[in-house]
Amino acid sequence: MILQGEYTRSIMRTQDGKGARILDQRQLPWEVRWVELRDMEAAAIAIREMWTRGAPMVGATAAYGLAMALAEDPSDESLLAARDYLFHTRPTAVNLRWALDEVAKTVGPLPPAERAQAAFARADAICDEDVELCRAIGESGLQLLRDLHARHPDRPINILTHCNAGWLATVDYGTATAPIYLAHDEGIPVHVWVDETRPRNQGALLTAFELRNHGVPHTVIADNAGGLLMMQGKVDAVIVGTDRVTANGDVCNKIGTYLKALAAHDNDVPFYVALPYTTFDADTPSGDAIPIEERAGEELTQATGPAGDGTITTIRLTQSPAANPAFDVTPARLVTAYITEKGVLDRIGD
């Protein structure tokens, strides 16, 4: 379990069993605010507005959202409409489609009266499985960090990561961070270069929050600093998460990941992608077919944070229009290996 206050998970069913409890990640690191989602619309808003985010978390939240929709109306029409509505909250993370399909396959053959309970149970199971998958990813990646430590016993291992693929992005442990947490807990000295990850700063706000709370040494850096650090020999490996890996091994992840992969390739730094099977999309042949989410330009042109007087303020960073693609695609040729629950794989999907 990674430090998560009174809970051991980033999402769980509410105590009355009728909703989902999540962290409102927009308030982190300034406030740890838990919120209860009580209907499908609340789950859709939480995903679309990124109260909660990260591929496995998007899938888990949508699964509970579908269960809540069926609790209100378990008809076939409701099932189809709710699945479609939740599916269109965010286009890129394949876990969203996977989780909705899992719940739909579970409840479809059932009489309407049994659907809500079965949907909630399947959502619970998706969360339980995600914890085990991420822990296993941690075990797989731990050996890589043990090997790096054996090669450099006299100094910390320096890992660069992009965005947040931590326990906040999953139900627990994270994907990219899971090996880091396990290595740190085993006593291997690890230091993490944390890409701030503009424009929503998931690295500076969320990954830094996680690592700080777990006592893992880390340094926040500008997104554009990683290439220099690699050129200077200050990065032993890059480990990132992903929102979708296609049949040929292409990796869709937060915007800026591809540039890190290019810098890693140019400096002979191993570039690892951590993912559970729920993020592998065998149905999409290659990365050019992945829908890339375009988010509002205001995420780029405005900055929100504490004003210092206890209030949260927003400032404008430019008067000009902005384009804001939220993801990019790293070709499989730039990936050293995939860290999965089945081990570290040179190729994926075979």
Ligand X SMILES: CSC[C@H]1O[C@H](OP(=O)(O)O)[C@H](O)[C@@H]1O
In the annotated binding site for substrate, the residues are 53-55, 90, 202, 253-254
Nearer to ligand X, 211 or 240 (CB): 240
Minimum CB distance to ligand X, residue 251 (Å) = 10
Task: Give the pairing of strands 302-306 and 312-316.
Answer: antiparallel
Report the 3 state secondary structure along 89-146.
CCCCCHHHHHHHHHHHHHHCCCCHHHHHHHHHHHHHHHHHHHHHHHHHHHHHHHHHHH
Short-list 108, 163, 130, 8, CA closest to 58: 130
Nearer to ligand X, 140 or 170 (CB): 170
Nearer to ligand X, 107 or 192 (CB): 192
Cβ-contact 223, 197 below 8 angstroms:
yes
Instruction: Please state the residue numbers annotated as binding site.
Output: 53-55, 90, 202, 253-254
Cβ-contact 125, 216 below 8 angstroms:
no
Short-list 123, 50, 40, CA closest to 85: 40
Cβ-contact 95, 55 below 8 angstroms:
yes
Minimum CB distance to ligand X, residue 261 (Å) = 13
Rounded distance, CA 76 to CA 90, Å?
A: 23
- The residues, ordered by sequence, that sit 6+ positions from 50 with a Cβ below 8 Å of its Cβ are 25, 26, 200
Nearer to ligand X, 58 or 118 (CB): 58
User: Is residue 346 annotated as part of the catalytic site, yes or no?
Assistant: no
Minimum CB distance to ligand X, residue 74 (Å) = 30
Which among 236, 243, 250, 328 is annotated as catalytic? 243
For ligand X, the binding residues (CB under 6 A) are: 53-56, 163, 165, 169-170, 175, 202, 240-241, 243, 253-254, 326
Minimum CB distance to ligand X, residue 79 (Å) = 25
Q: What residues are labeled active site? A: 243
